[in-house]
Amino acid sequence: MARKPQDVTDAELAVLQALWDGGTASARELTLRLYRRLTESNLATVQKLLKRLEDKDCISRNREAWPHVFTAAVGREELIGRRLQTTADALCEGALSPLLTHLVKTRRLSPQDRQALRDLLDELEDEGGRKDS
């Protein structure tokens, strides 16, 4: 057997990062962002990665435009969330709280960090506290 396919592989992630950082672009443009030199195979590689990312619903492809124009369909935060969930599934029976606890306990949090966290909690207290809104 083999391990479950990584949701987004390293090479695919590089493409996503290029989209996040530089915004919507064509395959050609993305190739230039990722590799210095633009060769025929580099471009094909990027096309293939874009195809796979499309299959995974991680990018959207505008087929009206020519050449096609690509946009990230998932954000960094989304991916962070997925990976955290994966870790939680593997090690915490799916619960995210242990990860939170771990980060707070383990990380050397500076007083500033702690204060920022308190502030964040206060915010949640205000908005998230109520059911609606």
Partner DNA sequence: CAGCATAAAGACAGAATGTCTATATTTCAA
Partner DNA sequence: TTGAAATATAGACATTCTGTCTTTATGCTG
Three-state secondary structure of 52-90: HHHHCCCEEEECCCCCCEEEECCCHHHHHHHHHHHHHHH
Q: What are phi and psi of 2, to 5 degrees?
A: -135, 170
Nearer residue to DNA within complex by CB, 23 or 67 = 67
Shortest Cβ 89–DNA spacing (Å): 14
- Using CB under 8 A as the binding rule, the residues of this chain from 4 to 33 that contact its own copies are 4, 6, 9-10, 13
- Using CB under 7 A as the binding rule, the residues of this chain from 84 to 113 that contact DNA are none
- Which x/- pattern over 37-76 shows residues binding DNA (rule: CB under 7 A)? --xxxxxxx-xxx-x---------x-x--xxx--------
Task: Say if residues 79 and 14 touch (Cβ distance below 8 Å).
Answer: no
Shortest Cβ 104–DNA spacing (Å): 29
- Using CB under 8 A as the binding rule, the residues of this chain from 63 to 102 that contact its own copies are 76-77, 79-81, 83-84, 87, 90-92, 96-102
| 23's tokens | 């915004």
